[in-house]
Structure 1
Amino acid sequence: MRKLSGHHHISMLTKNGKRNNDFYTKILGLRRVKKTVNQDSPSMYHLFYGDLTGAAGTELTFFEMPVAGRTVRGTNAITCIGLLVPSYDSLVFWKKRFELLEVQHSEIMTYAGKDALSFEDHEGLRMVLINHHNQETPADWQVWESSEIPVEHRILGMGTVEITVRYLSRTVKLLQELFHYTVVTENDKEVRLQSIEGETLGEVIVKELEGPSEKPGRGSIHHLALRVATVEELQQWDALIKARGLESTGVVDRYYFQSLYFRDRNGILFEMATDGPGFTVDSSVEDLGKGLDLPPFLEGKRAEIEAILEPLE
């Protein structure tokens, strides 16, 4: 069994797809690589943002839920997303940009041992830009040339993901013992682990916090997806998850990738997703994210679905 090759994507809730699209494309300069629907509830958008092709490890995804209320922060939740930027100068660029565009942000600080800049989107989703020190990124991460952000400061992909739980050891042991994460730093209340030793792009911080569980709403994080190369490996992981006494959905065909879902003993929802076939399975690279793409089993309901969805542009 090979080790996991980092994060695949991370999924959040948004109240309004149009405002969400504006923030992530116009303020953060990401490419909308797929405009589709929640396959389990096709009356709502599922929006994907990332690099040129939405490569695994670059994807931020959002389910639009118009009835979403306010998030009540608490424990047993994924609580912050790290995004890698090339350099310290990039952090300076983004701080000035956030000031100009009135995005809530911190001063440049230290996070997970690196220079960083924390910020929130318009719905209170907590994120942090992390200095990647001009290190190499995966070969399949490709620059989207049409972004208005200068290439030397663009968001590269996902970095450290923060998880807050009531019982620290439950989540840490799962990551260590089942998925072979390496502990980088630890104390009584916080453990930092990496799926690829020395690489921030597969890093997780687990923090312990007593109190009530988070009540999800707009700007909350729904799940973290871990990157798996093939369906065969996914099936092997499914067996190992079940052997550990955890419930798994089994392999689910999401058309753009194959997935499975499970919760750890703190209730954190994880997905495991394959690299392929990817978002170009039903679109050219040039046309990614422009039209409404539907998996084949929903294509017959296109007119009905399009009548419900509010246009994003």
Structure 2
Amino acid sequence: MYTIPGHHHISMVTKNANENNRFYRDVLGLRRVKMTVNQDDPSMYHLFYGDKTGSPGTELTFFEIPMVGHTHRGTNAITRIGLLVPSEESLRYWEERFDTYNVLHGGITTYANRTAMKFEDPEGLQMVLLVANGEKADHWETWEKSEVPAEHQIQGMGSVEITVKRLDKLASTLTDMFGYTEVSRSEREAIFQSVPGQAFGEIVVKYLDGPTERPGRGSVHHVAIRVKSHEELQYWEEQVKERGFRSSGIVDRFYFKSLYFRESNGILFEIATDGPGFTVDGDVEHLGEKLDLPPFLEEKRAEIEANLAPIE
């Protein structure tokens, strides 16, 4: 039986690609590894940030929707993103950096049993820095040109928080279908890991009744979990189908292949293959410097570029 080796990426909504680019590249020190468009709506930027090559497990991705409104927080939503840093000393570095750049943040605390510091991006996206216990996405590579020193760089995604009305329904999907291990449970929260003891495959599920979140800027669109190959993706397609979930079927995104489905609370999951990755149409040294399009959109390049505002 196949297992899930961790998170692949997580995708959010931004109102302004340039401001988003400044924060994630210049403040968080991530590399913009791919500047492309939403393949389902090419009038919309799709930006990817991560480590040196945008390895699976390091990617934060954003769809630009200039007309998007505010997020109205609620339940049945992905509500916080954990990012791994190497040490408690790193948290102190980030505390000073956030003060310098006027980033809204809390003090050093604990989250999901790890030393942590919560913060928000300029659009209110809720995140938390987590001190890794030697954990990092297994492909993670230092980005030498980052504004952040190598010893304090973000080393990929950690815990992903999902808030739902029906905790047991999501718990069943994670454990019975995907093989996650439930590592803790209280009345209003449960923690699941795809790789025991590792934050890079951890999902924190919180119970909250009330209105469903109305997404806007700074909201999370979906979370993607990793599989290694097309063969594994086909296996998971069958598992999703057997449990009665409707899926997109396998979609070729050029940089990886994907499958999308919503679980019982309406949370959108993507299952994505590790490869071929972002170097399939670009060399490592120049990733993210120009607009890249998958082959099926290349013939429309002039039209697509005319509709997009330039990004630094």
TM-score for both structures, normalised by structure 2: 0.99
* Structure 2 counterpart of 1:97: 97
1:171 matches 2:170: yes
CA distance in 2, matches of 1:190, 1:282: 42
Please state how far the C-alpha of 1:136 moved relative to its aligned partner. 4.8
Q: Which amino acid aligns with 2:191?
A: R
Give 1:139 shift.
4.1
Distance in 1 separating the partners of 2:289 and 2:195: 34
The structural deviation recorded for 1:137 is: 3.1
Would the aligned equivalents of 2:27 and 2:147 in 1 still touch at CA under 8 Å?
Answer: no
Equivalent in the alignment of 2:61: 61
Post-superposition Cα deviations, 1:259-279, rounded to whole Å, max 9, x if no partner, equal 000000000000000000000
CA separation in 1, counterparts of 2:14 and 2:225? Answer: 22
Give the Cα–Cα distance (whole angstroms) in 1 for the partners of residues 139 and 78 of structure 2: 26
Partner SS, residue 149 of structure 1? coil
Alignment-derived partner of residue 47 in structure 1: 47
Identity score, percent:
61
Per the alignment, residue 296 of structure 2 pairs with: 297
Tell me by how many angstroms 1:212 deviates.
0.5
Q: Secondary structure at the match of 1:286?
A: helix
Name the counterpart of 1:147.
Answer: 146
1:107-132 deviation line (CA, Å, top 9, x unaligned): 00010001000000000000000001
Residues 135 and 198 in structure 2, CA contact (< 8 A), matched pair in contact too: no
With over 3 angstroms needed to count, the CA separation of the structure-2 counterparts of 1:220 and 1:138, relative to structure 1, is closer
Q: Deviations over 1:3-50 (max 9, x none)?
A: 100000000000010000000000000000000000000001000000
- Which residue number corresponds to residue 200 of structure 1? 199
CA RMSD of aligned residues (A): 0.7
CA distance in 2, matches of 1:230, 1:296: 21
Mapped to 2, the partners of 1:228 and 1:86 lie a distance apart of 25
Match of 1:15 in 2: 15
The one-letter code of the counterpart of 1:132 is A
Q: 5+ unaligned residues in a row in structure 2: which ranges?
A: none
Please name the residue that 1:85 is paired with.
Answer: 85
Task: Output the CA distance in 2 between the equivalents of 1:148 and 1:59.
Answer: 18
Q: CA–CA distance in 1 between the matches of 2:185 and 2:311?
A: 44
Q: TM-score, normalised by structure 1?
A: 0.99
Cα distance in 1 for partners of 2:35, 2:102 equals 27
Assess, with a 3 A threshold, how the Cα gap between structure 1 residues 136 and 183 changes in structure 2: closer, same or farther.
Answer: closer
Which stretches of structure 1, 4 residues or more, deviate above 2 A after TM superposition? 136-139
**Corresponding residue for residue 25 of structure 1:** 25
- Render the CA deviation track for 1:55-109: whole Å, top value 9, x for unaligned: 0000000000011100000000000000000000000000111111100000000
CA distance in 1, matches of 2:197, 2:113: 12
